[in-house]
Amino acid sequence: MLPFERVAIIGLGLIGSSIARAVRQYMPTVKLTAHDASAEVRARVEELDFVDDVTDTAGAAVVDADLVILCVPVGAMGAVAAAIAADLPAEAIVSDVGSSKAGVVEALAAALPGRTIIPAHPVAGTENSGPDAGFASLFQGRWCIVTPPEDAAAGPVARVRAFWEGLGANVETMDPRHHDLVLAVTSHLPHLIAYTIVGTASDMETVTRSEVIKFSAGGFRDFTRIAASDPTMWRDVFLANKDAVLEMLQRFTEDLTALQRAIRWGDGDALFDLFTRTRAVRRSIIAEGQDDERPDFGRAHE
Ligand SMILES: NC(=O)c1ccc[n+]([C@@H]2O[C@H](COP(=O)([O-])OP(=O)(O)OC[C@H]3O[C@@H](n4cnc5c(N)ncnc54)[C@H](O)[C@@H]3O)[C@@H](O)[C@H]2O)c1
Ligand SMILES: O=C(O)C(=O)C[C@]1(C(=O)O)C=C[C@@H](O)C=C1
């Protein structure tokens, strides 16, 4: 039996459109309604034809839903939740896909008092955005972290978990604050570093921009993929997860200073030991089958 029969998606970019495509593929009997604030996106989704009904307002999309998933930037979650409040059926479960959780949990609870809210975060994505960037297999074999409030009833949590498992994800439950700390180091800080290094390279005066582009075959090129990620999405993530990101950034800055010192004083052992440890991390990620080197992942959809 399916966990939900009528799913509404608000926000039809990379993640919203991937969920819609995956629902079409893996739960074909589910009725899908959707809304996006952008008229251009709504028109494109009509053309792409992966939902049953595209509505002009968020409220109209949710009137008949048993699951509503907010797939908008984290800074917009509260306003979207307020916009659907009056039309939301009493029994509907509201979820989201935001990359940071504590602030979103707070914003949704404030906008939808007394409603069933089970937030989630699929830890899967690419640097691309918009409805053309989505694909049905995005969540296959990837983690989805569900962050229910402490007093959440077991039934709705189980249904949201079953929904994500139905789209191919492995599901784990976590406290929202702990989620934010973990993701600050595994996702948010790496993005900040990529934005910084690409920004620094493009600002250099002694190395021209054309040289940066011409000779970026190796390490730098991988950073440019991450640094091409959506500016609105990432602005919101850093503002929303400020405390955890600043804490991780402090640790990172200290470690960077230690490396700077090792290079200055010719401490090859310190460099070698660190690089040996980090190589082992990469190898254990690959051994667990979590690397992104599957031939069709991300790049095939550029
Ligand atoms: N991109 C990733 O890798 C990734 C991965 C996991 C989770 N997320 C999270 O998923 C959410 C969506 O990210 P995305 O990558 O799909 O972004 P996106 O830019 O591709 O899509 C966001 C969509 O939301 C729409 N939107 C913005 N404000 C709105 C509003 N008030 N009402 C209705 N629609 C609105 C935009 O028009 C856009 O179409 C974000 O919260 C992000 O943190 C992203
Ligand atoms: O692969 C990428 O392009 C991503 O950035 C995906 C990524 C990540 O950092 O792992 C980005 C943000 C999300 O919230 C989840 C996944």
> Is the CB–ligand 1 distance for residue 241 below 6 Å?
no
- Tally the residues of the chain: 302
Distance in angstroms between the alpha carbons of the first and the last residue of the chain:
35
Distance CA(245)–CA(177), nearest Å, equals 12
> Is the CB–ligand 1 distance for residue 71 below 6 Å?
yes
Nearest C-alpha to atom 2 of ligand 1 is from which residue? 125
**What tens digit of pLDDT does each residue of 32-49 get?**
999 999 999 999 999 999
Residue carrying structure tokens 């059926």? 89
Distance CA(27)–CA(69), nearest Å, equals 16
For the chain, residues classed under CATH 1.10.3660.10 are: 178-266
Residue carrying structure tokens 């934005």? 195
Instruction: Evaluate if residue 250 carries a pLDDT over 90.
Output: yes
pLDDT band at 201 (very low <50, low <70, confident <90, very high): confident
Comparing C-alpha atoms, which of 177, 188, 176 is closest to residue 251? Answer: 188
CA atoms within 13 A of residue 251's CA, in its CB half-sphere: 9
CA 262 → CA 149, 268, 280, distances in Å?
45, 7, 21
> Is the CB–ligand 1 distance for residue 125 below 6 Å?
yes
**What tens digit of pLDDT does each residue of 144-160 get?**
999 999 999 999 999 99
- Which of the listed residues 74, 96, 121, 123 should we mutate to test ligand 2's pocket, taking the one with most ligand atoms within 8 A of CB? 123
What DSSP element (H or E) covers 190? helix 189-203
For ligand 2, the distance from its centroid to the CA atom of residue 8, given in whole angstroms, is: 23
Position 202 scores a pLDDT of: 84
Which atom number of ligand 1 is nearest to the Cα of residue 79? 31
- Which of the listed residues 19, 21, 35, 36 should we mutate to test ligand 1's pocket, taking the one with most ligand atoms within 8 A of CB? 36
What is the pLDDT averaged over residues 204-223?
82
Residue 21 in tokens: 């495509």
Distance CA(141)–CA(298), nearest Å, equals 14
Position 245 scores a pLDDT of: 98
What is the pLDDT averaged over residues 75-87?
98
Position 292 scores a pLDDT of: 57
pLDDT band at 176 (very low <50, low <70, confident <90, very high): very high
Asked if 69 and 121 touch (Cβ cutoff 8 Å), the reply is no
Comparing C-alpha atoms, which of 146, 115, 94, 122 is closest to residue 16? Answer: 122
For ligand 1, the distance from its centroid to the CA atom of residue 129, given in whole angstroms, is: 8
Comparing C-alpha atoms, which of 187, 109, 132, 184 is closest to residue 301? Answer: 132
Largest CA distance in the chain: 67
Distance CA(149)–CA(195), nearest Å, equals 33
Paired sense of beta strands 93-96 and 170-173, if any:
unpaired
Which atom number of ligand 2 is nearest to the Cα of residue 292? 1
pLDDT band at 302 (very low <50, low <70, confident <90, very high): very low
Query: What is residue 187's DSSP assignment?
Result: I
Q: Which CATH superfamily hosts domain 6-174?
A: NAD(P)-binding Rossmann-like Domain (3.40.50.720)
In this structure, the residues whose C-beta lies within 6 A of any atom of ligand 2 are 99, 123-127, 187, 229
Q: Under CATH, what is the fold of the domain 178-266? A: 6-phosphogluconate dehydrogenase C-terminal fold (1.10.3660)
Residue 47 in tokens: 């053309």
- Which of the listed residues 10, 45, 72 should we mutate to test ligand 1's pocket, taking the one with most ligand atoms within 8 A of CB? 72
For the chain, residues classed under CATH 3.40.50.720 are: 6-174
> Is the CB–ligand 1 distance for residue 62 below 6 Å?
no
Asked if 34 and 11 touch (Cβ cutoff 8 Å), the reply is no
Q: ipTM of the assembly?
A: 0.99
Position 291 scores a pLDDT of: 62
For ligand 2, the distance from its centroid to the CA atom of residue 208, given in whole angstroms, is: 30
pTM of the model: 0.94
215: which residues sit within 8 A by CB, 6+ positions away?
A: none
Nearest C-alpha to atom 36 of ligand 1 is from which residue? 11
